[in-house]
Chain A
Amino acid sequence: MKQRRFSSPATALASVALLGLTACTAPLDSPGSGGGSGSAEPGAASQVIERESEETCTNPTPSDTPISEMVIGFSQSENEQNPFRAVETASVRQAVEEAGAELVYTNANSDQAKQLSDIQSMINQGVDALIVAPISATGLQSAFAAAQEQEIPVVTIDRQTEGTPCEDYITFMGSDFYEQGVRAAEAMVEATGGEGTIAEIQGAPGSDVATLRTEGFSDEIAEHEGLEIVAQQTGNWSTSEAQEVMGQIVSANPEVDGVYTHSDTMALGALTALNNFGKVPGEDVQIVSIDGTADAVQHVASGAIHAVVETNPRFGPAAIQALQDWFSGEEVSQEIIMKDALYTEENAQEALDSGAAY
């Protein structure tokens, strides 16, 4: 199945307007690119903070109002048909509930303009604090400015977006996508014994997440002379595209020893293609992926996928903690990086049973 973005002038002429529109319907970025049918239970594996930045923000006018008397607005970026988003929303919802506060929830459904108006209307409703999962790396300035005017603190989660810390938002919390690439490479080194050829199936071209996952991976692989990346092609976060591309790569490189995919959805496509080719994943070829969806972790448990680096969506407790610190006048780190798990054959079943894999 071919679904590569088509950008010849001929077709651009035919449907110039289309390109803009399809972008709305296509999730362009992981996290949140994930598929899978895992449970959406929050709290099964709560987040652990990996590291925090030294730069902090402090509330110049702390208040005594307990968080339990507050209204907290949450602007989700994409719909919860995506399990990552489902788990994230559930985590925020539960954390707000546990703090005794009231939640106002909106979902922009991948529409940037809607996210702006969502945030604006929550401000108008008089929320005391905002948690925002940005749709993209830019474009939320006007909403941030409106929040700042009302002295409403904003916590951004999962995707970093443009803005000045302490002014536009008080903190960003999320995964370190470069580090994810490095950890995937480490798992690959272990799986292949540091010898062999590797194919990489990347996320959508131009996405920050994909770029960082590529860089982290190749920087680490470069440390190992026995390993060579022989193919780097995009799978656009899509199962079917990844399957097609994997088929083509393995035709050209039948000896390929390792496959690195930027997301679990693409790992599933690669798995099918490798099987079709007659390779036995886990034996002839080692797959390493990122995300931690139940579908993929299942394959880790069965040995077909060697390892999955987790992208943990459970930001609720950390976000509430940051807000509590802010209101009470304590320092809040400007950047909080979450600890992501690594699923291997040893802990995969456990993660599935506990619901940590989503």
Chain B
Amino acid sequence: MSDQDKPLILQARGIRKSFKGVHALKTVSLNLYAGEVHGLNGENGAGKSTLIKILTGFHQPDAGELLLEGRPVSFSKPLDSQHSGISTVYQEVNLIPERTVAENILLGREPRRGGILDKRAAIAQVQEILDRYELNINPRSKVSELGLGMQQMVAIVRAVAFEAKVVILDEPTSALNGNEIEILFNVIRQLRSEGAAILFVSHRMSELYELCDRFTVLRDGEFVTESTPVDLPRAALVKAMLGGVDLDEGSLDRDAARDRMRRLAQEDIGLSVKNLTWSTRVRDVSFDVRKGEIVGLLGLLGSGRTETCKAIFGAVKADAGDVTVAGTPLTRPTPARALSAGVSYLSEDRRNEGIFPGLSVKENMTAAILKNISKFGFISRSAQNSIVREFSDELKVKASNAEQAISELSGGNQQKVLLGRWLSLGPKAVLLDDPTRGIDIGAKAEVHRVIRALAEKGIAVVVTSSETEELLALCDRLVVLSEGSVTGEVYPHEVGYDDVISLLSGQANTAKQTAGGTE
């Protein structure tokens, strides 16, 4: 593709930004050309949202410059960016539900005749815009009467219909169904043909390759590469996103690993998942975990790894599928039932789904076990204290005392308290969803040690991580998920990093050849 003939519209050069001394962006560049869809790619924490917020004027860069059509610009507030022709559509639809489509699209730009709103002209104008994007929406309909997808289209049309030079779409497809996505893509293609530059963020690999003319890849706040889909095929893209860090092959003692696999093969199945399906996010997922085995669910963001854990635990209601814990089926799972069956689940979202913020370390750690340590509803304080003592010691929780509020602890220590909550139950299987997310390196090592100790005790462990290397180093086996489906299974000691990368990018053919299994 020859891009040089297209004019450069928006250019970011050497952008640097840090928050409270933490670098979010270090020397990032971005080139947006007229009439192309540009995919901005990177894992969590790569700096995508920070960059978007700088382009839209929410943040100001510490260093670097923005050039709009060749002229340097600076946005001190979002309105500056909008007035320069940069439109953004966020994930949440931001419309007035009780107003019509026409009113929403024209908000603030209504045609007037002699100071009076010209309704007929407004409808005609909006109809013309909707026709341009081949959207079958009645301008007189109330927004609240439309489906979520159509509402999103209206939001996009509103954002782009007037003099948009640059359109930023941050995960616009996450809430849409297949049909709606097609309509959205048509709108985007129309925009492209009108000469707009579109910055597109999606975690769905297939969408990126269907739509984008060019990619920019960020990793850990740094610019990695700018390339075209042809030059950067799936595997290369994933590798660019995750980093090319090769595994220290020496650290994997292949012989020991094989011994361990042989030993594990003798063990009973601790947790079995069959044909688990939930909406479009988990599709027919099956895998077994032996007692004492550590299985990693490997997948990119949006691959369904969290949803799979939640469906097993009953935190979301699966549409189909069977879960068996140590030979006993877990019927109609709810968290309470799963816990009694011996399954624990550590959520990836510590703040919203884990801690009870105002309550003490003690209350937080014993939250799930109260039923077992109470008589006639009265909690045994001695039992409560001894649990807290035991697991604080074992997990090396650093807190001034058991009564300290958990919200005063560091992230790592909060996570240890939560681990204590789930481990004190004496589970048969544990689901640890990104247990090392956002905690410091020391705490990370502690968590790894704890996970290995769990496996030693014969517990079936399922673990996910946003860091592939972590899973490769920690797990006996990896189940690879892509867009909700299992695309392969690998043994870390059998495969190279590149094999894992190709699995992650969703290319099942590679998966087949590496998913060899035990010897």
A and B, direct touch (CB closer than 8 Å)? no
